[in-house]
Amino acid sequence: MNDKSNPRRRRLPVARILLVALVAFLTVEAIYLPYPWTVAKLKSTNPDITSLMKERIRKAKERHQRYMIHRSYVPLSRISNDLVHAVIVGEDGTFYENNGVDWFEVRESIDADLDAMKIVRGSSTITMQLAKNLWYSTSRDPLTKLNEVIAAYLLDHYLSKNRIMELYLNYIEFGQGVFGIEAASELYYNEPASALTRDQAARLAAIIPSPLRHSPDSGSRFVTFRTGVILDRMQARGW
C-alpha cells in the first residue's frame, strides 16, 4: 500500500510534533513548580516570606515608597470558627471535598472568559490561592494559572486540609502590608482572631477578592453586599 494513502501514516509526523511540544512544555513548566520536598516541608515549617510579599515590596521600591509588613502567625486553633466558615463559603465552598482544584468552577470560568474574550471570572480554590501567594505573582495569565493548578495538587497531596487552611489564613493579604488574619483582626477590630464575631468574620472574608481596594470596616456597597451573601451562605449550612 502506498504510504501516502494511509491516513495513520500521514498523521504520524503531526502526532510526534505534538508529543515533542508537550514534553518540552512540561519540561519548561517544571522549572516554575515547587519541588515536592519544598511542599512537604510545609507540614511543619512556616515560610518567612511569600512571593506575594516580595512582589508588593518590589513594586513599592519602584515607586520609591516605604513598605512595612504586618503579620503575626497563629495556629488554626486560635482562629475563630466563624472566620474559617466565612472564608470557605466566600472563597471555596467545596474546600474539604475537592483535591485542590474545583473543576466545575474552572469550566465555568473558561466559558465566561471565552465569551468575553478576556479573563473576567476567577476559579481559584483556597489551595490554588495559597499556591499563588507562596510561589507566584498576581498575574492572571494562563501559564501562571496552570502552575497554580499543579502546585495545588502538590499541596493537597502532602498537606492536610487543616494545615492548608492554617497557612492560607496566615499569609493571605488583608490590606496594604497586612498579611494574615491575626494582624487583620488586630488592625480592624482590636481583637485577636480567636475573638472575631460572626459579622466581623464575614466582613473580613468579604474583602479577600480585593484587599487593597476595600476594608472590612467600610460601608461600601461591595463589602455590604458580599458580607450579606457570606452570612446567608453560612446560615444555609447551619453555621
Cα separation, 122 vs 128, in Å, equals 11
Q: Which helix (H) or strand (E) holds 179?
A: strand 178-179
How confident is the model at residue 161, as a pLDDT? Answer: 98
Do 217 and 192 lie in a common domain?
yes
Beta-bridge mates of residue 179: 173
Cα separation, 130 vs 92, in Å, equals 12
Q: Cell digits for 64? A: 520609591
Do 19 and 100 lie in a common domain?
no
Q: Cell digits for 195? A: 475573638
Q: Cell digits for 26? A: 512540561
Q: Cell digits for 107? A: 469550566
Sign of torsion, CA 121 118 55 160? positive
Do 80 and 173 lie in a common domain?
yes
Cα separation, 110 vs 106, in Å, equals 6
Contact 185, 192 (CB under 8 A): yes
Half-sphere exposure of 174 (CA within 13 A, CB side): 28
Cα separation, 218 vs 130, in Å, equals 26
Do 18 and 116 lie in a common domain?
no
Do 23 and 96 lie in a common domain?
no
How confident is the model at residue 90, as a pLDDT? Answer: 96
Do 111 and 195 lie in a common domain?
yes
Residues 6+ apart with CB under 8 A from 119: 113, 140
Do 94 and 184 lie in a common domain?
yes
How confident is the model at residue 104, as a pLDDT? Answer: 72
Do 47 and 17 lie in a common domain?
no
| CATH code of 157's domain | 1.10.3810.10
How confident is the model at residue 5, as a pLDDT? Answer: 52
Which range marks the domain in which residue 12 is found?
1-31
Q: What is the pLDDT along the chain (239 residues), one digit of tens a residue?
A: 555 555 444 555 656 655 655 555 555 554 567 888 999 999 999 999 999 999 999 999 999 999 999 999 999 999 999 999 999 999 999 999 999 888 776 666 555 544 544 444 455 899 999 999 999 988 777 777 888 889 999 999 999 999 999 999 999 999 999 999 999 999 999 999 999 999 999 999 999 999 999 999 988 999 999 999 999 999 999 99
**Number of domain units in the chain:** 2
Cα separation, 136 vs 138, in Å, equals 7
Do 114 and 156 lie in a common domain?
yes
Do 20 and 52 lie in a common domain?
no
Do 89 and 184 lie in a common domain?
yes
Do 25 and 88 lie in a common domain?
no
Query: What does the DSSP assignment read for 19-45?
Result: HHHHHHHHHHHHHTSPPHHHHHGGGT-
